[in-house]
Amino acid sequence: MKTLLTFMMALLCQVSLSQSIWVGQVLSFDQGLNNNGESISPLRSNSSNCIGMAQSSDSFTPDTNANYVSLGFKGEMVVMMESAVKNVEGMDLKVHETTFGTPPCRRYPERIMLFASQDNCNWYFCGIGCQDSEFDLGELNWAQYFKLVDVSPYGNFDPFGVCDGYDVDGIEGYVLETEMSPSTLGVGTAQHIINFTQGLRKNGTPVISSRSNPSNALGLPQGTENVNFVSLGFGGQITLKFDYTVFNIDGFDFKITETTYGNPQCPQYPEQALIEVSMDGFMWTTLGVYCLDAMIELGDVNCFQYIRITDRSRSSSFGPTADGYDVDGVFSFQNCGPQQRVDFDDIVTMNEESEVTLSPNPFDDEIIINNNEIKDVIVYNYVGMLVKQYSGVTNQIDVSELPKGVYYIEVLSNQSKTTHKLFKN
């Protein structure tokens, strides 16, 4: 008897978990207009029509019996599901849309962009759907909030007369999530390097290795004396991606922090970059050319996930070892989470820096330095005591007077200071 009861309870639980999840509440609704620029009929504007189980019917219905809500062109809506929708193998949810007669999408392209969230704050882009559409939650392990944005193309509907964009009948989640562990995606800053094509320095040589790591453009700017940025080189380019979508909000939308010694104004040190943004990494919108640290407003752009930064600095304005625009970090201002993001601008690292190498190692009676801009060379022993200082040196130093042992050799130029560990035979 106990075994049978256990089996029945397990079966009921399985049935319960397999039931669809539907919209429980509409949190916001910013309805657009129809394709002739007028307001949509109130009979098609009741947002509660998308709550609960969808009718999932494309049969003609008079407006007085409308069982859907029209977003309007460029309209958007945020809904909360009855429960969390789990990310499983394959598709995770379906948006039910009403189009009378079910014409093919190419003929009647009512489209939405769908975003998913765990906190109604950070939004993961799930894709674009046309009419009835299924979506996968991608890198989110679950979601309970969904944002629908109409992206139906105006001109395609002219032959059909007055149309009002995407019509939401309901959203159906396939599997209930009960654990709801938080996502580990990065919030508010660029997290991925999509492409990096580095230019050269003004003198035609490669950018030094310490300034050539594109990963230094990810996350928040660190603001330390360590090199925590990447130099694009003249004409160089980097493409970065956010985990969550950056939306257009009131005021500035995001900031690019560029590293320039002493934090000058642009006329004194005009490192510049062309900034472009994209949702898919293929179609790009140009926001303009910005100089040094850039506070950027998206203007007519609704949202983006990719950012492309291309150096546009004029080499004639810089010294011989200058290496173009330096990207320390990119972060958005739409911070609705529990922690305030703060960026720190590195203004202590030299703008121009030459790669310095000393050879041979071990050495005998002379040391050769590969750099022509050296001012001083200071030699310390293995416990850090000053042994010798050479001023006005060229590429070769006579060190025959130094006894055998381990030395730390500090090399100074007008632009840099490096320390090297060498051994004397």
CA nearest 370: which of 384, 381, 358, 380? Answer: 358
Q: What is the pLDDT of residue 11?
A: 42
DSSP code string of 135-156: E--TT-SEEEEEEEEE---GGG
Q: Which CATH superfamily is 17-173 part of?
A: Galactose-binding domain-like (2.60.120.260)
Cis link prior to 403 (omega < 30° from 0)? Answer: no
Tokens encoding 128: 């674009």
Whether the Cβ atoms of residue 277 and residue 287 lie closer than 8 Å to each other: yes
Which one of 1.10.540.10, 2.60.40.1930, 1.20.1250.20, 3.90.1010.20 gives the CATH number of domain 358-424?
2.60.40.1930
Q: Torsion angle of alpha carbons 137, 56, 47, 85, nearest 10°?
A: -20
Q: Which residues pair with 412 in a beta bridge?
A: 376, 417
Domains 17-173 and 190-332 belong to one CATH topology: yes
Tell me the C-alpha distance between 111 and 96, whole Å: 12
Domain range list for the chain: 17-173, 190-332, 358-424
H or E stretch at 12? helix 2-18
Contacts of 39 (CB under 8 A, 6+ apart): 33
Which one of 1.10.1510.10, 3.40.640.10, 2.60.120.260, 2.30.30.100 gives the CATH number of domain 190-332?
2.60.120.260
Tokens encoding 259: 């590293």
Contacts of 171 (CB under 8 A, 6+ apart): 22, 23, 50, 54, 79, 81, 93, 94, 95, 96, 146
Phi and psi for 413 in degrees, rounded to 5?
A: -130, -175
Residue that is written with structure tokens 């069982």 in the block? 67
- Is-above-0.85 flag for pTM? no
Whether the Cβ atoms of residue 329 and residue 390 lie closer than 8 Å to each other: no
Cis link prior to 362 (omega < 30° from 0)? Answer: yes
- Residue 423 C-alpha from the chain's centroid: 46
Q: What is the pLDDT of residue 70?
A: 93
Q: Which residues pair with 30 in a beta bridge?
A: 76
Whether the Cβ atoms of residue 4 and residue 65 lie closer than 8 Å to each other: no
Q: What is the pLDDT of residue 12?
A: 43
DSSP 374: E
Per-residue pLDDT of the chain (425 residues; tens, 9 = 90+): 445 444 444 444 443 444 899 999 999 999 999 888 889 999 989 999 999 998 877 666 777 777 889 999 999 999 999 999 999 999 999 999 888 777 888 888 899 999 999 999 999 999 999 989 999 999 999 999 999 999 998 777 766 767 888 999 999 999 999 988 888 898 889 999 999 999 999 889 899 888 899 999 998 876 555 678 899 999 999 999 999 999 998 889 999 988 777 777 788 889 999 999 999 999 999 999 999 888 999 999 999 999 999 999 998 888 888 899 999 999 898 766 544 455 555 544 555 566 677 888 888 888 888 766 677 888 887 667 788 888 877 778 888 888 888 888 888 775 566 777 888 88
